[in-house]
Structure 1
Amino acid sequence: MKAAAAALAAGLAVLLMIPAASFFYEAGGPEACARCHEMGAPVGEWRHSTHRGVPCSACHGDALTADPRFHLTNARRVVEHWRGEAGARGQLGPAEIRAMLPRCQKCHQQEFASWSSGPHAIAYRSIFLDEKHNSSRHLMDDCLRCHGMHFDGGIRDLVEPLSTKGPWRLRRAELMEAPAIPCMTCHSIHRRGARHEDRRLEAKVSGPRQEKFRPSLAFFDRRSMAPVEVALLPLPDMREKGRPVKMSPDPRQALCYQCHAPLSTREVFSGDDRTPAGVHEGISCLACHDRHRQTTRASCANCHPRLSNCGLDVEKMDTTFANKNSRHNIHTVKCADCHPKGVPARRPRMAENLD
């Protein structure tokens, strides 16, 4: 009986160590977190970030979080810390990134709804089990640079077989419906900047003094496992048949180019590039594409009057905006594409045409 009681007590002690370790890790707020050297830098960044008014527990959970995996992770971190095995900086794992999504949604409901209904909310299943793609191109580790940058492994740990002959399956079944491009792909919540509450006064500030973009914009670099802020991301020097292409100075599109990139030739529309040329040369990606949903429905009306210089409705012209099968791609269409014998003189807009 004594042996059984001792075993039971030992078992209970082990079980209680998990929530106790989690409580130790989370209790006391950021000051307690910062006592661990691996958490000092993230906490220091948080103190000056746009989210500094949001407690750590709101995004990362706390001792009362119901998910047992959360507490197991914290217990593991405490053990690693005591053993001196913790890294110089704490890193969020893929499960923790996924767990943060509904917490992002709680405060950023409109942005989350737009992202959820757009192409960047695509699931691992849709990307890595795509028969058309997989049968024509080999899957490789570089795929994870843009599609699954938070995945904790290589491509062979995610999909099998690594050949052009299927059927293919995900080795991590829990990722089937998980988003491959979550919020933290393009946003870093610890970036320095004005608090969201302080932005209410922005409308009273003159245009040149207003911020151009949210400081949280940053690309998560899978190689360094760290976000790179937009200000440090370069815009490519693009060419069209050797001719330099005028680029928009909008720094936000540097984020787009990290994945929608040209080949080494820097030729417009090579690789996954979508650099505007022709009549839209010099326009930013974000001038036409909604930030989170990527829709373009309102893009023409944002810049154009109802009629073009030709006197035609710009939304009904023969381009891929009106018809995805059009041979005139909206990114590169030129006047000469429709007027091979010469561009006609600009027509004056008649009052009756505007009715």
Structure 2
Amino acid sequence: MLCPQVTLLLAVCLTATIPPVAATGYTMVKTFAGSTFFNDWQFYNNYDNLTNGDAIFVSSSVAASSHLAYIDPSTNHAIIKVDNTSTVPYNQKRNTVRISTNDNFSVGSVWTVDMLHVPYGCSVWPAWWSQAPAWPTGGEIDTFEGVNMVTNNQMGLHTLAGCKQVSQVQSSTLINSTDCSYLTNSNEGCITTNPSTASYGAGFAQAGGGMFVKEFAETGISIWFFSRANIPSVLSSNSSTIDTSTLGTPVGNWPAAGCNIDTFFAPQNLILDITLCGDFAGPANIFAETCPGTCYNDYVVGNGSNYATAYFEIASVNVFSETGTNTIVAGNSASALGFSLSTLASWLGVIGCIWLFLA
């Protein structure tokens, strides 16, 4: 029979090694809104060498001076837009914006965005998404994306080979593809389309916008979309806590059964960008589905009047962590290699127990 001291010591050690029970409760740990919205973002400050877009992602100073990224004084909302006032000559690119958060956010996070307008128009390719710094290692999660004059938002994952969408629990039946590997079908990803025409473009604006919610959990990745009239009170009230189990069935779901989250995903930067043409919006076969003419020649070149609707209007972006944790990871720290604060705390507890036992 063990003495009481040893029994107590073993109990403490076992408690330290048992992972916390998965939770659906989350507490807000960071917000981007109002006059400080653009704090803690990096502006890409380079031409689009990522997706071959006919765009230049400007610096923060150029974005401010050109009125491409600013706070609307009448609403206190953030505006991110394509330059629609300059005349772009042939063989030149048009100015626009790509920003990503300085911090990364690890598994156990929920990210919400409240938008009143999203970019749309021929040649326009906007996205609200997240990506690990070493992509494709660490994966990518697309919450909002579309091109040209499509009417429905698409969502999806892009990962290393081996991740698939299986046995999903979601409201959308529009599943474009289930293989998430960036090596499959020219990096199509495992894509689900939102059946609501209020989720993108003119329909989104006419409905007064809405909110996207993304849960990045050990059990899988889920995305909800709520048009303005249907936003739950817990979200519209900007509550400091949310319980995702009260949000109903997500519109898109990628369970861990087909794609182990710890294997394929690392802490993510949040990204907002608008590019033009490029690998997705520009190919002739895709462009012709919703737009006449030629992507670059007929839209990017010229006086920019085509881009009057090519802007985000954002009330807020909020980051939540599983209650009792903090999933904010600064830069490429140890957490970017897959360690969460709770995991580190557990290991420190184990080491402490071993040291105490040996002593």
**TM tier, smaller:** under 0.3
Compare relative contact order (CA 8 Å, sep 6+) and give the higher one, 1 or 2.
2
- Please report the TM-score for the alignment, with normalisation by the length of structure 1: 0.22
Normalized per residue, the structure richer in helix is 1
- Please report the TM-score for the alignment, with normalisation by the length of structure 2: 0.22
Structure possessing the higher radius of gyration over alpha carbons: 1
Normalized per residue, the structure richer in strand is 2
